[in-house]
Amino acid sequence: MSSDTQREDLKRYEEAVRNKVCPYCVDFGADGICHSKDPSGCAILRFLPELVAIAKSIHELKIDAYAEAVKKNICMKCRTRKPGDHCMYRDTLDCGLDRYIPLIIQAIEDAA
């Protein structure tokens, strides 16, 4: 796959997230802007390629397998994570990625 195609694919998936996840997000402001508590920015957008790979490789009805894959493949390299699998944003429900895994997977699958 060419890098142009990859870029276009990612753009399409990002648009899907913005259309199908952000409007339901508690951090989405009335001003139409993301107010994520994470100073690094919403983890969904930081790890979109990894989320696309997870959505393409897992085909389960239950969300557990996706949540496990997120912890293993994304949280492990997220700079927010602390030793012992703790994440202050997950603990306080302030990570958009952690909160909306089902919506994110659905949005990516619909845009595939």
Task: Kindly list the residues in this chain that would bind ligand SF4 in the complex (CB under 6 A).
Answer: 21-22, 25, 27-28, 34, 36, 38, 42-45, 74-75, 78, 80-81, 87, 89-90, 95-98
Pick between residue 59 and residue 79 the one whose CB is nearest to ligand SF4.
79
Pick between residue 3 and residue 79 the one whose CB is nearest to ligand SF4.
79
Pick between residue 1 and residue 30 the one whose CB is nearest to ligand SF4.
30
What is the rounded distance in angstroms from the CA atom of residue 8 to the CA atom of residue 103?
21
Beta-strand pair 81-82/86-87: antiparallel
- In DSSP terms, 28 is beta-bridged to 34
Question: Shortest gap between Cβ of 7 and ligand SF4 (angstroms)?
Answer: 19
